[in-house]
Structure 1
């Protein structure tokens, strides 16, 4: 009870200072917020949903079971195979920490960001893995994924400010690193105090968004100060089912990062069997739990046989010709 009270106080102190650019969850009666933060189709026909459930004070709702959830796909109720909680079931997560180290972050902002990142690590659990990226005029993978958080701490301490802001390349690189995570529960936490500055990125603005969206990698984006590009940060978060926060001052970053670490570790993993055809069609999923509703969309894998024919004459022929027919069948062909 004491821990829950302390967390409530943290949220109540922290969030009045924030400007919420994007709030992805749907709410019911202003009491419960439900987010479908990721959808994994890799084990099709089973679908895995990553769901966050928070109360009026943004505190994660604990102890929910499969009986508390109802899931519909395209309006039809589907079978729930299992419901797990990341914390209660000791399920590891993977996080890419991305820190803007451009010259405008020199001094207090970067030192506060480094301290906040260290505190973020304090809130993780054994088995969680973290990668560290920093960026200015270029993007660097300072530390690839590791469960040795002391190694990540040492890497954070080496960050220094300088250069401009290759923001688009940073978001793309973060999504690329996250796509290679060892856990299906993977996230990016990106902090920047600016926008794409100097036109140094080799990737366009949409590249990181598209890669993260296709790989179901939510971005939790922190914009620091008043020189950020709120539209880009909002799109980066919204289109990847994450959240975007604009924060006026750097001195409260530690509290924010602590909240994010707790938030990411209190998701529910809901596995469903929607009985869908593997035809590449797009579907809408809705999760109802504890008086709240969250929605998301996903595309079923296209696993039907695909055929091509090469060498087929366009005109009538008078002698034999060779025609090559090729069939690609991910699931194999029947007799």
Structure 2
């Protein structure tokens, strides 16, 4: 966690929020590993916490059903909040929930295209068409980077840096040649992971609109790796060691042999992504990428007003989901936020004023929590 002074400097440069580690991963190197949501259950994963607008805290989280798809129509009725062991009373309106589609923060996606000769012909053409559709269906503020696995010194070619302009991305995509002799798949995915943590480049200027909250990787390949400096085990270890999760979605397709598909399956399941078996059903790629786009845009943001005075310390919180509402089935995830004074930046002051109007403070001495004698409502974590 950055100190307060360095955090302020960081905010003034890029207005990028602090990332707080709230989940940990166990290294996995098996294609038989389970995905985030096991059959019959659902899951929540907090991946980003922003407290630079304190006393308002914004929590970004992703949800999963048994098929790895997001839960729909979540709101304050089935999402409960607890701070330092005490449950918020939703009737006091000190927090609200939004879908990411309702907000302006951009997300980033790195697309990794296998451009080796084994993919040439109809498979590669369908992959290009599906990728173009993925680009066309993104929100205007979202950013896409494209890597092609080719015979370069690094094992990949940067087709496009992060770019918002769908037209520019489409033109660059159309120039990709499918002529590689080797497939350094693991090196290319490793480069995509590194790209997820760098400052946006290309035609994107560093300003408040670049408050990127999430990055995902989409891999289109047959899973074969030849000559990477990274092994599959080393790549999976890197994935497991990330301070915040980067989901990897893989589309396994081929016109030759499916024997290497398990490499993609293991990598995706080790992240919080999803593995898609395409095989030779190339027409499924467009629908699959549309589903991935839907998943990426279906995250939620919970914004709450904290009652804790500024003290420069970290404080624990927990989010609980009851889904469906009234089912009595709950799942939880937890994290921490800093109680810090916002820096005097005009853009932050404007945002604070907007949040104050949306979530007015309670009267003096008022508490956002349930009264001691009042039981938690539906969707609230029990204390």
Partner residue in 1 for 2:186: 168
The count of corresponding residues between Structure 1 and Structure 2 is 271
Determine if the alignment matches structure 1 residue 24 to structure 2 residue 36.
Answer: yes
Taking structure 1 as the reference length, the TM-score comes to 0.67
Determine if the alignment matches structure 1 residue 125 to structure 2 residue 158.
Answer: no
Partner residue in 1 for 2:103: 89
**Per-residue deviation, residues 200-229 of structure 1 (Å, max 9, x unmatched):** x22343247526833432111222241324
Q: Secondary structure at the match of 1:126?
A: coil
- Structure with greater proportional strand content: 1
Partner residue in 2 for 1:318: none
For 2:259 and 2:335, locate their aligned partners in 1 and report how far apart those are by CA, in whole Å: 34
Partner residue in 1 for 2:217: 188
Mean Cα deviation higher: 135-144 or 48-57: 48-57
Question: 5+ unaligned residues in a row in structure 2: which ranges?
Answer: 1-30, 89-93, 201-209, 339-383
**How far does residue 105 in structure 1 lie from its aligned partner after superposition?**
0.6
Check 1:60–1:148 CA distance in 2 against 1; reply closer, same or farther (3 A cut): same
Question: 5+ unaligned residues in a row in structure 1: which ranges?
Answer: 1-18, 302-335
**How far does residue 163 in structure 1 lie from its aligned partner after superposition?**
1.7
For 1:73 and 1:165, locate their aligned partners in 2 and report how far apart those are by CA, in whole Å: 49
Partner residue in 2 for 1:254: 286
Partner residue in 1 for 2:274: 243
Partner residue in 1 for 2:118: 104
Partner residue in 1 for 2:175: 158
Mean Cα deviation higher: 48-57 or 233-242: 48-57
Mean Cα deviation higher: 247-256 or 102-111: 247-256
Q: Secondary structure at the match of 1:131?
A: strand
Taking structure 2 as the reference length, the TM-score comes to 0.59
RMSD: 3.8
Check 1:127–1:166 CA distance in 2 against 1; reply closer, same or farther (3 A cut): same
For 1:85 and 1:170, locate their aligned partners in 2 and report how far apart those are by CA, in whole Å: 32
* Residue among 62, 70, 75 paired with 1:65: 75
For 1:296 and 1:168, locate their aligned partners in 2 and report how far apart those are by CA, in whole Å: 31
- Determine if contact 1:179/1:217 at 8 Å carries over to the other structure: no
For 2:197 and 2:260, locate their aligned partners in 1 and report how far apart those are by CA, in whole Å: 26
For 1:259 and 1:236, locate their aligned partners in 2 and report how far apart those are by CA, in whole Å: 19
Determine if the alignment matches structure 1 residue 210 to structure 2 residue 238.
Answer: yes
Partner residue in 2 for 1:14: none
